[in-house]
Structure 1
């Protein structure tokens, strides 16, 4: 949508199934953003690029918003945050019928845990040298290793893993289950650069439109259309 003329130009890196140019209506997250602006008579387009490029040009005011950002206090000097739009959960997956549970990370020390090389999970998890963390290059590989019994657990973003199971693994006769306690949950926002000349309008228009979507029950309908429950948002 970004190649057309819009009131607001946003940027981000594709992150299916949250958002991306190859998803139906660009994914639930982009769909919510577009419809929120439409509620107040505005249009937005999303330019898909690398996150680093979106961030670096965004903070200079070249874009009117960055899509799907986590909150970080150090960014408040450069950006404002919209109302929270969705939630990203980092969770542990095991094969269906597994008996693993935990209250503290130390409880997971007997198990082989698949992670993705270079990812930051949480400070505590990354520094937990007592855990058996086995690195791979992507989550898809870790799902395979879990399937064949080379791993006991994987830690991964919940929606991304479910998306992979429904696309890359849809013909495989197995299922995964999530350990009850997430490793961490992050709210996801539209992050508006303070150097954007449209900063005040973007923030006010989106928050107003998003509130109207919620009041009308349209967020629930958008989530349902994309195959998610409304409690996958909040």
Structure 2
């Protein structure tokens, strides 16, 4: 029956007929504010992705598991869509990427009013920088042994050290930092600010398993739904529902 259903769906696509709606199993790991079962609608990314897919007539459910299991589950057919994935050529073997629907910007933070700018790695030489131990920010930055990096356990610790003047810079994904500054770091929110130029930018995509008979249609539906959301303002409204502001 599964093979017959897949064949009928492909015929419908070929003929340009209506394709029946799919119930899709979305997966991600805990990465607030993008994906987190404790947040409204599963977090910003889950909210955006499920809304875009609903516009294509599909229903969704979200499962949160460790990242290794997310990737393995997509390959084994346990899940249909990874909600938030960076592009890699290796992943294209088993999944089809959408267009990027948001951008992860790694940005430095400084104490408010400090005249520190990022114009390349050499511009960081005079400063001490709080970095989360074991975290990968950018290949060149991670490998730059000439920089004064101060290991910390988490972003919140580095941000508090920055506000207290114990380091001159720290860095984090822009939306992750906003999330923390709006919640557990409210007491220092006005004491720190972003440096204008980001260290790096990386597009965030959904990844649909290639073994799904409608994987190309699902990506098309998602891209079309996301474009419509940007045009009608619902994309920005979802951001603000999560206490965040959409980037450029």
Same fold (TM > 0.5): yes
Q: Among 145, 148, 151, which residue is 1:135 paired with?
A: 151
Question: What SS is found at the alignment partner of 1:68?
Answer: strand
1:93-132 pair list within 5 angstroms? 93-132=109-148
Question: What SS is found at the alignment partner of 2:117?
Answer: coil
Query: Any gaps of 5 or more consecutive residues in structure 1?
Result: 1-5
Q: Among 212, 231, 234, which residue is 1:196 paired with?
A: 212
* Residue in 2 that maps onto 1:3: none
* Residue in 2 that maps onto 1:157: 173
* Residue in 1 that maps onto 2:39: 23
CA contact (8 A) 1:92 1:154 kept: yes
CA contact (8 A) 1:62 1:196 kept: no
1: distance between equivalents of 2:72 and 2:170?
Answer: 32
RMSD of the TM alignment (CA)?
A: 1.8
The answer to whether 1:50 aligns with 2:60 is no
Question: What SS is found at the alignment partner of 1:210?
Answer: helix
Deviation at 1:89, TM superposition (A): 0.7
Q: Among 159, 162, 165, which residue is 1:146 paired with?
A: 162
* Residue in 2 that maps onto 1:209: 225
Larger Rg: 2
1: distance between equivalents of 2:92 and 2:188?
Answer: 44
Query: Any gaps of 5 or more consecutive residues in structure 2?
Result: 1-21
Deviation at 1:197, TM superposition (A): 4.3
TM-score, length of structure 1 as denominator length: 0.89
TM-score, length of structure 2 as denominator length: 0.85
* Residue in 1 that maps onto 2:26: 10
* Residue in 2 that maps onto 1:34: 50
CA contact (8 A) 2:25 2:80 kept: yes
Deviation at 1:124, TM superposition (A): 0.8
Structure 1 runs of 4+ aligned residues shifted over 4 Å read none
Moved more, 63-72 or 207-216: 207-216
Question: What SS is found at the alignment partner of 2:187?
Answer: coil
Highest relative contact order (Cα 8 Å, sep 6+), 1 or 2? 1
